[in-house]
Structure 1
Amino acid sequence: MIDALTMPFTLLCGMTAVYGLVPARARTSAFANANPAIIARSATITIALLVVAFLAKLEFVNFDTNSTAIEAPLCLLLLATFTLTVPRIRPMQALYVAAWAQILAEMGFECVDLVTNGLSEPAHVVCRTVLSVLCAAALYAACRRWLAPQLQVNGSYLIGRRKLAFVVAIVILFLLLSNYQLIFLLIGSRGHSYMVPAFRLMTGTLSLAALYLQNDIEKRQQAQLELNMVQQLWQRQQSQYATAKENIDIINRKCHDLKYQLAAFRAMRGDTSRDDAEIDRKLGEVERSVMIYDATFDTGNPVLDVVLTEKSLYCEAHHITMTCMADGKALDFLDKADVYALFGNAIDNAIESVAKQQDPNKRVIQVSAYADNGFLMIRFRNYCDVPVTIGDDGLPTTSKTHEPGYHGYGLRGIRYTAEQYGGTMDIHIEPESFTLRVMIPVPTGA
């Protein structure tokens, strides 16, 4: 009788592993709002699959014949069915999760088999049942708290065709090597000894190691691609800084010369008072139109002055008010390109947000930078009365529709820059405001 329960026990361990591995939102939606219909459906499917496993083991699988070869593939099929119908995740993710869960469940059962091997029948049944339940609980806890975060990227699985093909190959290899008949042939005995679970444990460990290394390599490649993207943005912004500085210098020189020319023109006006008044009025209009270009910032940091001036010109043209209280000297220890990238990205995000405001009084951006107790404190605050969705990486999801390939990398670049100097970046959201704060320790002697 106990042999008939081995497959249901393995399937039960696999089901708990699946629930530990699926993304949190899929696990939550399976029992959302404690809907009785969803719970009843999930329970029915689970019980039905366990019954199928019990009947299949009882009728078709015999330890003494080659029919043991169908046990593991059948269990994997039932586990994949469970993953598709209960958590209801996408097919490629379901196959990936089911493969991990199958190997983990097989290893868990083999551990139970090692512990209970050799016990008499009553103790064997009781111990195997209790240990199987404990093993299922342990698998769920380990998968949810440790393994799932290691395998997922921003709370979901990124499964491509090549990755899935590799997983399928590993699973097929595991099923072949863990087949009882092959093990009997290798050890030269058909007895149910400690060598059988030991060999299957070794095969499972190697399979899991291969899957984990493949996933780790992929995550490292993804991280490197993201770093390369941030560096490309950094290099592009470094070039933009040089161009912006040159353009602003040219504009200021031209406007400075133009104001002197206007003053000279006013001094040459005629004797007719009416004509002089008209000339004064028109000259005043011209002077006011060029004052926007003379409103440069003087914070004590030339790079910060350039980026603030550049952004203020854009804000003025789009009816956005930008105020700034900054001690530029406090930024002297930062690299020039990092200053330009950090402030440029943050102000661009704020501009994009307040541009959606219809109320002119809410089209306001506040920028501040100062040193406080050994830290450089930088803050950007703007009105934001639309819901902001925070992703699993702690950053708002991007709403930009331009510059394909650069979506969402502005805040990543800011966080990367802060971390390069040992600092942090955090976001504070209130009902009608969005605040981005950067805190960087000031080096001793800076």
Structure 2
Amino acid sequence: MILETLPDIPRVLTGLAEWLACLLYVLLRRNRVHGSRLVLLAVVALAAQIGVQELAGTLPLALWPVGMFAAVACMYGFIVTATRVSARDAGYFCARALVLAELVAALHWQMHCFFFLHDESSWLGGKGMFFVAVYASAFCAVFLMESRHFRRAQPLDVSLSELASAGAIALVTFFMSNISFLNANTPFSGRLGLEIFYIRTLVDLCGFVALYAQQGQRLQQRARAEVKSIDGILRIQHEQYLQSKRSMEVVERKYHDLKHQIGVIRAEGDPQKRASFLDDLEASIRDYGAQADTGNGVLDVILTTKAMECAERGVDLTYVADGALLEFMSAMDVSAVFGNALDNAIDGAMQVSDPDRRLIKMALFARDSFVVITFENSFTGELRIENGDIVTRRADRDRHGYGLKSIRYTAEKYGGSMTVNTEDDWFVLRILLPMPAARPRPGAWRSHATRSVGSAPAGSAPAGSESAGSAPSR
């Protein structure tokens, strides 16, 4: 039993605290209504919030959760009506507003009972001034704190797990702060009036700190993701610069070689030898074509860079790709999938002892409502599998072996899948990605989206054909 009975927070003050907490977050977001319409909506919300609290006070204790649910529903309705946020984001703000309202109301009432418990004067005097001072200072301080976490132009994008976490924190906080009023005979209940108020205020404070820390962690994760994205873009730009520099060096080197070769051809009187020299000259420059043009800038850089690498390492790379299909993917994800897959394919092809069989084929095309990506490379040896996953054959396993995991993670991120298997002497990697529903199905392949480095392997499948992505003819 409670040894000392003290008056609980008046319902009108609880409703006012809940309304002010919602208004705080409404002012931190872009509004659906402005000016007089916003003021009118706020007044209606205030009347509804206080009315619901007064009505809940008349309900029996068994229906206390119903009254609380109605109050939370009014808070949610005010936020979702007044601001340009999604239903999920509104729920996130509602959880924060509930805990904030409980904290401010509990803090004020605890100090009110300490200073004015036996004061019978009107609320128009010192009690009213104290109430205004506490509420104004508390909500202004929180507004300044939360304005650092919530920017008007910054989307919130709360995930289901984050919403569930915030809701759980608010629910546990509210339950633990009010358990003494529901049942004094529990290990977590207080039995003295001021002790009950202290427990409620302390629990509400812990709940608000937990929610504040959660939002801070969300911002840190977003900042890390943005830094990673920017780093990826800069890395791609750097690779493009290095590729351009290497291309210029190749052109300069070929220029000097061509001057001497042209002189030899001019001096040769035998037409057959001259034709043979011309064939050799054509073969020597065949591997240095123009930059890839698939319709996706990031993919162009990757393919051009890997094509140059293949040419220098004696690997025959053939690809057919419609880069426009990848417009729904971020630059970092395109780089992760194609960079890792081609690196693995080059490493696998280089293990083949016969230089003429160091082959790589890549295809990117649409089939039904899916984007299909296949990477095939000549392969020798056996796959090493541990715990159901293919592991690297390199000695330094702490630094290598994450390529396929990264590709699988990216594919699953877009609701797709990745499969790997070997077919005779070929290693085949297939990626299947569902296209966004709002995206129209792409049309025919563009002719300039095809690029071959060296001669294409016999039996290579044309873009979009039924054999694309299957084992190459051998």
TM-score (ref. length: structure 1): 0.50
User: Residue in 2 aligned with 1:95?
Assistant: 91
Q: 1: CA distance between counterparts of 2:209 and 2:30? A: 26
User: Residue in 2 aligned with 1:110?
Assistant: 106
C-alpha contact (below 8 Å) 1:24/1:155 kept by paired residues: no
Q: 2: CA distance between counterparts of 1:96 and 1:127? A: 36
User: Residue in 2 aligned with 1:229?
Assistant: 229
Once the 2 structures are TM-superposed, how far is the Cα of residue 198 of structure 1 from its aligned partner? 0.6
User: Residue in 2 aligned with 1:133?
Assistant: 132
- CA, structure 1 residues 256+183, in 2 after alignment: closer, same or farther (shift >3 Å)? farther
Cα RMSD (Å) of the superposition?
4.3
- CA, structure 1 residues 45+196, in 2 after alignment: closer, same or farther (shift >3 Å)? same
C-alpha contact (below 8 Å) 2:14/2:53 kept by paired residues: no
Say whether 1:173 aligns with 2:177: no
C-alpha contact (below 8 Å) 1:112/1:132 kept by paired residues: yes
- CA, structure 1 residues 173+24, in 2 after alignment: closer, same or farther (shift >3 Å)? closer
Deviations 1:403-441 (A, max 9, x none): 83139xxxxxxxxxxxxxxxxxxxxxxxxxxxxxxxxxx
C-alpha contact (below 8 Å) 2:11/2:54 kept by paired residues: yes
Q: 2: CA distance between counterparts of 1:39 and 1:215? A: 28
- Larger proportion of helix: 1
Counterparts of residues 145-184 of structure 1 (less than 5 Å):
145-151=144-150, 155-179=154-178, 180-182=180-182, 184=184
The one of 58, 81, 84 equivalent to 1:85 is: 81
Deviations 1:16-65 (A, max 9, x none): 222322464524x432xx3x4454344233323323323333x226xxx5
Once the 2 structures are TM-superposed, how far is the Cα of residue 142 of structure 1 from its aligned partner? 2.7
Which letter does structure 2 place at the counterpart of 1:138? S
- CA, structure 1 residues 181+15, in 2 after alignment: closer, same or farther (shift >3 Å)? closer
User: Residue in 2 aligned with 1:20?
Assistant: 24
- CA, structure 1 residues 211+228, in 2 after alignment: closer, same or farther (shift >3 Å)? same
Count of residue correspondences: 274
Identity of aligned residues (%): 19
Determine helix, strand or coil for the equivalent of 1:166: helix
Q: 1: CA distance between counterparts of 2:237 and 2:62? A: 66
C-alpha contact (below 8 Å) 2:12/2:54 kept by paired residues: yes
- CA, structure 1 residues 88+242, in 2 after alignment: closer, same or farther (shift >3 Å)? closer
The one of 405, 413, 419 equivalent to 2:330 is: 405
- CA, structure 1 residues 88+128, in 2 after alignment: closer, same or farther (shift >3 Å)? farther
Counterparts of residues 155-304 of structure 1 (less than 5 Å):
155-179=154-178, 180-182=180-182, 184-186=184-186, 193-255=193-255
Which letter does structure 1 place at the counterpart of 2:165? F
C-alpha contact (below 8 Å) 2:29/2:152 kept by paired residues: no
Q: 2: CA distance between counterparts of 1:188 and 1:21? A: 32
User: Residue in 1 aligned with 2:367?
Assistant: none
Q: 2: CA distance between counterparts of 1:215 and 1:188? A: 30
Bigger mean CA offset, 109-118 vs 84-93: 84-93
- CA, structure 1 residues 60+81, in 2 after alignment: closer, same or farther (shift >3 Å)? same
Once the 2 structures are TM-superposed, how far is the Cα of residue 209 of structure 1 from its aligned partner? 2.5
Q: 2: CA distance between counterparts of 1:81 and 1:135? A: 26
Q: 2: CA distance between counterparts of 1:88 and 1:139? A: 26
- CA, structure 1 residues 188+224, in 2 after alignment: closer, same or farther (shift >3 Å)? closer
- In structure 1, runs of 5+ residues without a counterpart are 267-312, 315-343, 345-400, 408-446
Say whether 1:119 aligns with 2:115: no
Q: 2: CA distance between counterparts of 1:126 and 1:54? A: 24
Determine helix, strand or coil for the equivalent of 1:202: helix
Say whether 1:10 aligns with 2:6: no
User: Residue in 2 aligned with 1:30?
Assistant: 33
Bigger mean CA offset, 92-101 vs 201-210: 201-210
Q: 2: CA distance between counterparts of 1:169 and 1:25? A: 23
C-alpha contact (below 8 Å) 2:149/2:219 kept by paired residues: no
C-alpha contact (below 8 Å) 1:114/1:194 kept by paired residues: yes
Once the 2 structures are TM-superposed, how far is the Cα of residue 9 of structure 1 from its aligned partner? 1.7
- CA, structure 1 residues 125+81, in 2 after alignment: closer, same or farther (shift >3 Å)? farther
Q: 2: CA distance between counterparts of 1:21 and 1:215? A: 14
- CA, structure 1 residues 218+189, in 2 after alignment: closer, same or farther (shift >3 Å)? closer
User: Residue in 2 aligned with 1:425?
Assistant: none
Which letter does structure 2 place at the counterpart of 1:99? A
User: Residue in 1 aligned with 2:455?
Assistant: none
User: Residue in 2 aligned with 1:277?
Assistant: none
Deviations 1:260-316 (A, max 9, x none): 9999999xxxxxxxxxxxxxxxxxxxxxxxxxxxxxxxxxxxxxxxxxxxxxx99xx
Q: 1: CA distance between counterparts of 2:7 and 2:30? A: 34
Q: 2: CA distance between counterparts of 1:130 and 1:66? A: 36
Deviations 1:188-234 (A, max 9, x none): 7666x211111011211222232233333333222223333333334
Q: 2: CA distance between counterparts of 1:143 and 1:160? A: 24
C-alpha contact (below 8 Å) 2:29/2:84 kept by paired residues: no
Say whether 1:60 aligns with 2:59: yes
Determine helix, strand or coil for the equivalent of 2:331: coil
Q: 2: CA distance between counterparts of 1:190 and 1:222? A: 45
Q: 2: CA distance between counterparts of 1:4 and 1:203? A: 17
- CA, structure 1 residues 127+183, in 2 after alignment: closer, same or farther (shift >3 Å)? farther
- CA, structure 1 residues 231+189, in 2 after alignment: closer, same or farther (shift >3 Å)? closer
- CA, structure 1 residues 25+86, in 2 after alignment: closer, same or farther (shift >3 Å)? closer
TM-score (ref. length: structure 2): 0.48
Q: 2: CA distance between counterparts of 1:42 and 1:128? A: 25
Determine helix, strand or coil for the equivalent of 2:155: coil
C-alpha contact (below 8 Å) 1:110/1:197 kept by paired residues: yes
